[in-house]
Amino acid sequence: MSTVVYLDNAATTPVDPRVIEIMLECCGPDGDFANPSAVGHEPGRRARSRVEQARAEVARLVGATPEQIVWTSGATEADNLALFGAARFHRSRGRHIVTSRTEHPAVLDPCRQLEREGFEVTYLKPGADGIVAPGQVAAVLRDDTILVSIMHVNNEIGVVQDIGAVGRACRARGVLLHVDAAQSAGKLPIDIERDCVDLLALTAHKVHGPKGVGALCVRREPRLGLVPLLYGGGQERGLRSGTVPTHQVAGMGRAFAIAAEQMAAEATRIGALRERLWAALAALPGLRLNGHPVHRVPGILSVTVDGVEGESLLQSLPDLAVASGSACASTNAEPSYVLRALGHSDRLAQSTLRLSLGRFTTCEHIDYAARRVRQEVERLRAIAPPGVGAGQR
């Protein structure tokens, strides 16, 4: 076993060797490295063929057609393109946008910018289980609502939103639905037609593909207008100018194809590992599961450990790569706004660990991690002053 057990797959995943293989085929002088827009010569046409194959693979995973896929640099850019693109194109129809307080910053920050541009944004508060009830969304739709943005799976606590019900409510009112599927693509079935999703943000690196590439899936029938963020060569039907990185998108296509093949089996395997981890940790007094106990993605377990300071716990576990309850990244010591939106105090939000599993997580990893977390929680509680947290002296 590696010296560090990696349980931060919700942050990013290692690239699958099968993905690396196809990426390398698109890089070297003997490979398909050419500009895929340069279809006037054979190398360019070969690169284009790689790009279009990847486009089809990505589309297939989400029930879309290849023409609906627009390559981006990742989910953040896809979210930005969806929000700014749709809001600016449709502003003559209305200026009201709906989202939730627990969205990723790639959605919340553009919403704040849109507010500065004159839009009005309603931020829905999820329940204590992290779920935004579809009825909450339907209740705030107005005649001037043009866009709803709800993530499929929350990156911190792993809860799954009922995007189908939200989508139907939006479609009935003629409101566009954008879904950030960074944490769900390749892990849960997605069908944009069935779920009435108009814009779907995707990324490769959460599903064992490369970093730096993603896609926005855009509804085509009826055509959905978007104002681009980038202008230049007019690639991606003018929606995203810039040379398409063949090796990156080929890697994303392969990653999505592998995920599609393995999704059912991996969901079962990883879900069982998560339950094994939870069962092993749940014996600790003062431990609570964050988020809905059932409506959750298989690979994410978020637990709050009362009576232990989160940063100290993280520092005590140098042999585990896990995330704390700080907002989005350990570079930010602020308590997680997601956990606070669920009603956690700052202290409890900071006493939270997110353990996220992936394709290369084994039973041995889980047993080791559970043992180490228990050890360090007990050690830190043993040195805490009287009266701190649950199960204390």
Partner 1 sequence: MRTLAGAGDLPAGPGIVCGVAGDVEQGARVRFELQVEDGKVAEARFRAFGCPHFVAAASWLTDRLRGAGRSEVENWDWREAAEALEVPPAKSGRLLTLQDAVRDAARNWPGAGQSTV
Just list the catalytic residues. 328
Query: Which is nearest to 278 in space by CA: 267, 268, 287, 286?
Result: 287
In this chain, which of 93, 101, 347, 374 binds partner 1, going by CB under 8 A?
A: 347
User: Using CB under 8 A, which residues numbered 258 to 317 contact partner 1?
Assistant: 307-309, 311-312, 315-316
Instruction: Give the shortest CB-391-to-partner 1 separation in angstroms.
Output: 14
Cα separation, 161 vs 180, in Å, equals 11
Show the tokens assigned to 393: 């002296």
Closest to partner 1 by CB, 53 or 316: 316
> How many other CB atoms are there within 10 angstroms of residue 241's CB atom?
14
Binding status of residue 382 toward partner 1 by CB under 8 A: yes
Q: Which stretch binds partner 1 (CB under 8 A): 123-131, 267-275, 287-295, 341-349?
A: 341-349
Instruction: Report if residue 350 touches partner 1, rule: CB under 8 A.
Output: yes
Rule CB under 8 A: choose which of 243, 268, 332, 345 binds partner 1.
345
- Smallest separation (angstroms) from partner 1 to the CB of 218: 43
Min dist CB 8 to partner 1, Å, is 19
CB neighbours of 179 closer than 8 A, spacing ≥ 6?
A: 149, 150, 151, 152, 163, 195, 197, 199, 200, 201
Tokens of 107: 């959605």
**Which of 52-60, 126-134, 156-164, 342-350 is the region at the interface with partner 1 (rule: CB under 8 A)?**
342-350
Q: Which is nearer to partner 1, 27 or 333 (CB)?
A: 333
The distance of closest approach from Cβ of residue 349 to partner 1 in the complex, given in angstroms and rounded to an integer, is 11
Pick 117 or 334: Cβ nearer partner 1: 334
CB of 309 to partner 1, least distance (A): 6
DSSP string, 93-111: T--EEEEETTS-HHHHHHH
Residue closer to partner 1, measured from CB, 31 or 307: 307
Residue 17 to residues 4, 8, 13, 20, 259, Cα–Cα distance (Å)? 20, 19, 12, 5, 13
Q: Is 388 in the site for partner 1 (CB under 8 A)?
A: yes
Q: What is the total count of residues that contact partner 1 (CB under 8 A)?
A: 21
Backbone angles phi, psi at 37, to 5 degrees: -85, -15
| Residue 353 β-bridge partners | 303, 324
Residue carrying structure tokens 């990696």: 6
Nearer to partner 1, 158 or 325 (CB): 325
Output DSSP code: residue 87.
H
CB 382, min distance to partner 1, A = 8
Which CB atom, from 268 or from 332, has the smaller least distance to partner 1?
332
Q: Which two tokens stand for residue 292?
A: 């809905």
Closest CA to 141 of 172, 109, 107: 172
Q: Which positions lie near partner 1, rule CB under 8 A?
A: 307-309, 311-312, 315-316, 318, 333, 345-347, 350, 382-389
